Structure 1
């Protein structure tokens, strides 16, 4: 288990949710969002803009799976919640399932947006329900994720993971032997002018700041639309890299520095993300919430173990375990699980996910904005029909466009 996960669990146990020894501030949870923006800003600075053929080959399958998984999870949550409200718990609203999808896939940010939409529609409990599902989802993503890893290890699905018994003394301690140690980055600028690391760190900070400004601006056009900062950060980083390549400045930039910046952000993101969990459970909703959560877990496991191998192709398990963390908890939880099976990030899952999310983020915006209104207002069949039609469209594009494009690139 990565040290960051252990540190996060210790922070949770000693924080306000546990022994209340560590005095977390009211803004403590915002550190996770800041580090997510910094992480993808650094990833963008180290990522070349791919050609359409490369997108089709590298991220086409990831885009297809992300779209199928996210849309189908929203549809499953909506329809299962509608079933519970119609046949099991008569006092529930037909839109009861939506908070689960918002909490599981979207995390606390999306939960707040969806909760606010429902509050404006007249269902105030949805805000607390959404945040509760988001909190429970983080626990589910890690606990069930660790079980998945153990099962996958026994089935031989993990390629790069060494069991603890097979590790040498250095690997067990998380250290690198002296003869295998490598430089973190190369010096590209004279220390008489400026330290190389200072320039690289400044670029990450500037792009991260841009991600907040750009996300706030793009989100200001409608009060129910929220653009994630990690999307604008990744795009901003790629734009800076393009400018550097066009002007010849890229020869003075070191991808190793940006990769380490993303690694640092990842470790601290995991620590803050787990430590800042707030445990809230509404007693009156406990039973239907439990049934809904169990259904969501089973459906997400179906996506990971049945759908993922058929769409993702090579390294499907690494991409699948990351998607499990993302679909049940947050991107941070997906990264935490991915680091266990791919500590050196050789599978390039994060790069592919970031590339695939850019076109897919438009769909997420429409779902977050319209699905709560549709389910609360009684447009149940319409929402189901639109969702299934979009999934069919994605599968058609993946099968007859992306796969053929990938074959052409390979040939």
Structure 2
């Protein structure tokens, strides 16, 4: 079990988060950059912490809070996740699923192999697994970065934790900066007809606030307060599943000293299992997905604050040149996925799906949504609906990649990882071409 969240750490992170939101509301430059308040708070934590001015009294173990919050994040996601039937995936989101699988697996493979090339021929003092932190940070965001960082730390490569979190932070800036450039080019090429610029947004949208008339309740009350508060039960489920994620991960990892099961895997699967039991017993009518989604959102925001604040600047100085080269390669490869692969896989509305995927593949899903809203403010393309349907089957692949790719690259199984990854991409292409496309043609006859 990890060290618990210290009240002082939680208070500092909360204060930074509030300050970050205040700055986001009042500073136009931050609004134009679409920076999440948690990222601003994390940068403040880094600047005011031991790596900067050393003004914040973080506890000695505050960096471990990121791992605990990651387990809570995936536990809450599992509690809010339904497993769609294969027919629904095929009919509604087959092309989105295929592209997501190809893009995510190929990005991990590219990062792993490009990092291996740099470590072998250019920067020969690098760890052979150097490329993995980039894919963890770009595609997975701070949650996945914390997972991969913990895996590498347990294997003996502690610098990977800082590298992963740095790539995740840089990815947010890259996703918005390059994403806005992509939108400008797409407008000139006629790929899109409208562009909801920053100037067209109202004051509330710019500041990340919701007008009073548009505000909605965070969750519905499903239980009488005479017996228990509804949120208390939902919070209890998240806490219990999070504790289960640690206990089960420790148990499963005890069978072999080289096997380390990440807590995010057991947390996500544990949450889905609890949800399925609730559905089978009829208890699901008393559960609110909004509460679980907000629990994952809270975990994510605090995770970002702790993760960025824990970055070791001295490590970044040591790796700055190879990181720059690796990030440049990652950006170019992701652009290839968006502009060459996406049109051939996703067909109609490929650009809307592609720009969302750009934000997701370099920053976070939230960055993808921000870019999508600029080009499709009324969400007519139904991209988010398709992504939600394709997410669950795709997340299973993510679990295997995040869990096994760091181990494979660190332990020298480079070509095994490449062969398995390419075989899986070939399998996905086969399913897309001979199942999804065939069903689409039959449906139009």
Instruction: Calculate the TM-score normalised by the size of structure 1.
Output: 0.78
Per the alignment, residue 5 of structure 1 pairs with 39
In the aligned structure 1, how far is the partner of 2:259 from the partner of 2:443? 37
Q: Which sections of structure 1, spanning at least 5 residues, go unmatched?
A: 120-126, 326-333
2:398 is the counterpart of 1:357:
no
2:243 is the counterpart of 1:243:
no
C-alpha displacement of 1:66: 4.9
C-alpha displacement of 1:147: 1.0
In the aligned structure 2, how far is the partner of 1:368 from the partner of 1:352? 25
C-alpha displacement of 1:162: 4.8
Is the CA contact 1:5–1:336 (under 8 Å) kept in the aligned structure 2?
no
2:228 is paired with a residue of what secondary structure?
A: coil
Is the CA contact 1:145–1:337 (under 8 Å) kept in the aligned structure 2?
yes
2:258 is the counterpart of 1:258:
no
Moved more, 72-81 or 340-349: 340-349
In the aligned structure 1, how far is the partner of 2:69 from the partner of 2:287? 22
Per the alignment, residue 264 of structure 2 pairs with 230
2:164 is the counterpart of 1:134:
yes
Aligned residues: 388
C-alpha displacement of 1:115: 6.5
In the aligned structure 1, how far is the partner of 2:323 from the partner of 2:417? 22
Per the alignment, residue 221 of structure 2 pairs with 187
2:319 is the counterpart of 1:280:
no
In the aligned structure 2, how far is the partner of 1:15 from the partner of 1:160? 43
For 1:83-162, list aligned pairs within 5 A: 83-84=117-118, 88=122, 92=124, 96-105=127-136, 107-111=145-149, 113-114=151-152, 127=157, 130-131=160-161, 133-154=163-184, 155=186, 162=196
Of the candidates 412, 417, 428, which is equivalent to residue 374 of structure 1? 412
Moved more, 2-11 or 340-349: 340-349
In the aligned structure 2, how far is the partner of 1:368 from the partner of 1:33? 17
2:250 is the counterpart of 1:206:
no
Q: CA 1:175/1:292 → structure 2, altered by over 3 Å: closer, same or farther?
A: closer
Q: CA 1:342/1:290 → structure 2, altered by over 3 Å: closer, same or farther?
A: closer
In the aligned structure 1, how far is the partner of 2:316 from the partner of 2:149? 16
Q: CA 1:51/1:410 → structure 2, altered by over 3 Å: closer, same or farther?
A: farther
In the aligned structure 1, how far is the partner of 2:205 from the partner of 2:305? 21
2:329 is the counterpart of 1:298:
no
Is the CA contact 1:102–1:114 (under 8 Å) kept in the aligned structure 2?
no
Per the alignment, residue 25 of structure 2 pairs with none
Is the CA contact 1:187–1:196 (under 8 Å) kept in the aligned structure 2?
yes
C-alpha displacement of 1:141: 0.8
Is the CA contact 1:215–1:227 (under 8 Å) kept in the aligned structure 2?
yes
Is the CA contact 1:225–1:365 (under 8 Å) kept in the aligned structure 2?
no
C-alpha displacement of 1:57: 4.6
In the aligned structure 1, how far is the partner of 2:346 from the partner of 2:117? 31
Is the CA contact 2:67–2:146 (under 8 Å) kept in the aligned structure 1?
no
Per the alignment, residue 219 of structure 1 pairs with 253
In the aligned structure 2, how far is the partner of 1:180 from the partner of 1:284? 48
Q: What do the CA deviations read for 1:229-266 (whole angstroms, capped 9, x no partner)? A: 33322222222222122212222222222222233223
Calculate the aligned-residue CA RMSD, in Å. Answer: 3.7
Per the alignment, residue 14 of structure 2 pairs with none
Instruction: Calculate the TM-score normalised by the size of structure 2.
Output: 0.73
Per the alignment, residue 331 of structure 1 pairs with none
Is the CA contact 1:57–1:409 (under 8 Å) kept in the aligned structure 2?
no
1:144 is paired with a residue of what secondary structure?
A: helix
In the aligned structure 1, how far is the partner of 2:167 from the partner of 2:358? 17
